[in-house]
Amino acid sequence: TQLLEQSPQFLSIQEGENLTVYCNSSSVFSSLQWYRQEPGEGPVLLVTVVTGGEVKKLKRLTFQFGDARKDSSLHITAAQPGDTGLYLCAGAKDTGFQKLVFGTGTRLLVSP
Amino acid sequence: NAGVTQTPKFRILKIGQSMTLQCTQDMNHNYMYWYRQDPGMGLKLIYYSVGAGITDKGEVPNGYNVSRSTTEDFPLRLELAAPSQTSVYFCASSYSAGQKRSYEQYFGPGTRLTVT
């Protein structure tokens, strides 16, 4: 089983702080996705990164795919209470089947 | 479009009972998936389907069965419920055509199942 480990597991911060979430694996992935999940709902895709070293920005969120395509990070600048949720990374292997391996998740709480 | 819908939202089962979790998508996606999510464990793939009439096991298929008679529907069957099946179940779908392969999966709102 390919594992994607996320750190930290839980993060509680004040509004306006910056944070980084990490997603690490010993396996190489053809692409990596980040999802956000709110309580009582299913995960919703934030971004897909496909090229080693790729950086994508989504407003205050910055996503990076590692050069070796084994790891990724999510950086949030000036966090807001609306950023609260469970962040999941998911890696894909280019096997012809769209199977994703999900990380263990990082639960973020941003307090006003 | 409603996207991916799941019913019921909540269910409590006694050990040994059976039930079917329903999943329907209206996006004409060919791929569909069932996951379970346990606290601190991320999402584990139970079964998946690449099209009507084709299903296959995922990472944790024991105790479950699926069928895919139409593109839209992908029900998950629990035959003899066990406490270990207490979890939140998510159905998802995605689309792939030839070399155009998007790994984005669209998720339903989930079914919270408790087996006691």
Please write the tens of the pLDDT for every residue from A7-56: 999 999 999 999 999 999 999 998 899 999 998 899 999 999 988 999 99
Three-class HEC string of chain B: CCCEEEECCEEEECCCCCEEEEEEECCCCCEEEEEEECCCCCEEEEEEEEECCEEEECCCCCCEEECCCCCCECCEEECCCCHHHCEEEEEEEECEECCEECCCCEECCCEEEEEC
Determine, for residues A42 and B107 on separate chains, whether the beta-carbon distance falls below 8 Å: yes
Per-residue pLDDT tens for A50-97?
889 999 999 999 999 999 999 999 999 999 999 999 999 999 876 656
On whether residue B23 sits in a domain, the answer given is yes
- Residue B35 belongs to domain with CATH number: 2.60.40.10
Number of compact structural domains in chain B:
1
Range of the domain at B42: 4-98
Which residues make beta-bridge pairs with B35? Answer: B45, B90
Per-residue pLDDT tens for B88-109?
999 999 987 766 566 789 999 9
On whether residue B106 sits in a domain, the answer given is no
Using an 8 Å CB-CB cutoff, list residues of chain A that contact chain B: 1, 4, 9, 31, 33, 40-45, 48, 88, 90, 92, 94, 97-100, 102-105
d(CA B39, CA B31): 26
pLDDT at B100: 58
Tokens, residue B30:
């060919």
Q: Which domains does chain A have, with CATH numbers?
A: 7-99 (2.60.40.10)
On whether residue B115 sits in a domain, the answer given is no
B110 neighbors B80 (Cβ within 8 angstroms): no
